[in-house]
Amino acid sequence: MKNVRSELMSNPKTITGYAAGAFAAPTGEAIPVIDPATGTTVAVLHESDGAEVGAAVAAARDAFRAGPWAGASVADRQRALHAIHDAILEHAEELAALETLNTGIPFIQTKNIHLPRAAQNFRFFAEFINQDGGEVFTQEPGYMSLVTYEPIGVCALIGPWNMPLGLTAMKMAGALAFGNTCVVKPSEITPLTLARLFEIMDAKGILPPGVINLVNGRGHVTGEALSAHPDIDMVSFTGGTETGARILGALAKGIKGGAMELGGKSPSIVFADADIERALDGAMLGSFMNNGQMCLAGSRLFVHEQVADEFIAAFTTRTKALRVGDPFDPATEIGPMINAAQMARVASYVESGLGQGATLLAGGGQIEGDGFFIEPTVMQSNSNALAICQEEIFAPFATIQTFSDEDEVIARANDSAFGLVGYVWTADLERALRLSRRLATGTVLVNTPIMRDLRTGFGGVRQSGLGREGAKGSRAMFTEMKSTIIAL
Ligand code: NAD
């Protein structure tokens, strides 16, 4: 593998937007893109202003209305989606390295988990559209009623920094599969991987010009210009809850819809009958994978008091043993935080937890050096009301509470503004099913950590979002349901 870090440190990449099949000139405001492990600039992003966003939306509109994508057959769309799948795998090593360089996620995770997942999204939706169809109702004598799913039009796809390629790949695959055109806006903090993917798709000529476009820049400039643009038809957004609310506000003015994948503070409940080793493995992954910067992190742990001593001691020991360091080192389990602000935020939560009576079991400190490294942290709390148990910290930071009763723990687990995932660790199938009904979350995972199945829908309730991603959820997001009723 080439050393992308040293290559880009000595010659930072220039990142611009892409519209109607051509990359923009690097004229927009220059924003440095930082390697969080070293604090050095590895790319310069040229921000897309309102005019550039307008050009990207116009290109997507033209391609939707009159261009070849609007009339593409299922086979044509499948061919394009498979070609993107293959292109990602062909460049997997390079894309994984860029993802690690820009996010600080350990390379073993980007290479072995994120890249295959990103590619798989395209293959999945290529296969899904082959089987998917509408509905026909013939119960009413003299009538036949048809339900068809039409592409919605121009989709704005806005992504976060914590899993830039994988999360946006899912949006791109779904939007394209159902016949839409799109404008993609990655986080200004992590634009590297998608910029490279656009170069690869462009070089291979996979999609007709205008079908997929890219804009880059900060939320209050490029993001707002895109989500408030009168000629987009919807926004599929993944990011923070406050940003989601702002985007919904902009969409409301045009009576448009948005799919919102927002924040989480997911409970992970370990019952006394659980396989404790398995629950420990799962809780470690759920709290610390992706440097803990995961919307679906199951980092609000509830442990039954019968197994609490054993579980908490083992969890604390394992957390202290996690290897923090250079994300390119294969031995590294935790890389850097995304930036200095995120690192400072973690410190403020440690302070807030201590101030509110929580006990620090592991970590809590920053690690000296050029990058944004912190010690993986565990705090034990006697109350779910503490800020560390209520607010999304988005870091390798787990909280542990103990419980004695099922009803009581369900009430505490549901005592949250969020509702993304509920994790349950138990050997009792009836209990698992009861909890699946009673946890107020979009997904319940039983005896398994961070599992996603594209056939199911992923998304949150309450402030964790609106809509579901995956199979039919993505169809609902990216199509308009049309009814045609025919008198016979
Ligand atoms: P963020 O909300 O700050 O930014 C996300 C994206 O929105 C970025 O591209 C940003 O430039 C853009 N943006 C910001 N302001 C905007 C505006 N006014 N209009 C339009 N776009 C705007 O989020 P982040 O910090 O990049 O990501 C972390 C958050 O994402 C966490 O809260 C996390 O839980 C959430 N997230 C959710 C999921 C999920 O599937 N539910 C997955 C990953 C991350």
Domains in the chain with CATH codes: 1-262+464-484 (3.40.605.10), 267-446 (3.40.309.10)
CA angle 66, 70, 76 (to 5 degrees): 130
Closest CA to 83 of 257, 206, 191: 206
Establish whether 261 is a catalytic residue.
yes
Which of 53, 121, 162 is the pocket-test mutation for ligand 1 (most atoms within 8 Å of CB)? 162
Catalytic annotation, pick one of 47, 99, 261, 469: 261
- Cα distance between residue 83 and residue 126, in whole Å: 10
From the CB of 261, is ligand 1 less than 6 Å away?
A: yes
Number of C-alpha atoms within 13 angstroms, CB side, residue 465?
A: 30
User: Cβ contacts of residue 430 below 8 Å, gap of 6+?
Assistant: none
Interhelix angle 192-204/164-177, rounded to 10 degrees, is 40
From the CB of 328, is ligand 1 less than 6 Å away?
A: no
pTM for the structure as a whole: 0.97
Provide the token pair at 261: 């994948």
Distance of alpha carbon 287 from the chain centroid: 16
Provide the token pair at 381: 């709390």
Give me the tens of pLDDT residue by residue for the chain, a chain 488 residues long.
569 999 999 999 999 999 999 999 999 999 999 999 999 999 999 999 999 999 999 999 999 998 778 789 999 999 999 999 999 999 999 999 999 999 999 999 999 999 999 999 999 999 999 999 999 999 999 999 999 999 999 999 999 999 999 999 999 999 999 999 999 999 999 999 999 999 999 999 999 999 999 999 999 999 999 999 999 999 999 999 999 999 999 999 999 999 999 999 999 999 999 999 999 999 999 999 999 999 999 999 999 999 999 999 999 999 999 999 999 999 999 999 999 999 999 999 999 999 999 999 999 999 998 899 999 999 999 899 999 999 999 999 999 999 999 999 999 999 999 999 999 999 999 999 999 999 999 999 999 998 889 999 999 999 999 999 999 999 999 999 999 999 99
Which atom of ligand 1 is nearest the CA belonging to 188?
Answer: 11
Which of 266, 295, 392, 466 is the pocket-test mutation for ligand 1 (most atoms within 8 Å of CB)? 295
- Cα distance between residue 381 and residue 369, in whole Å: 30
From the CB of 244, is ligand 1 less than 6 Å away?
A: no
Phi, psi of 486 (to 5 degrees): -115, 125
Sheet holding 479-487, edge to edge: 135-137, 143-151, 479-487
From the CB of 449, is ligand 1 less than 6 Å away?
A: no
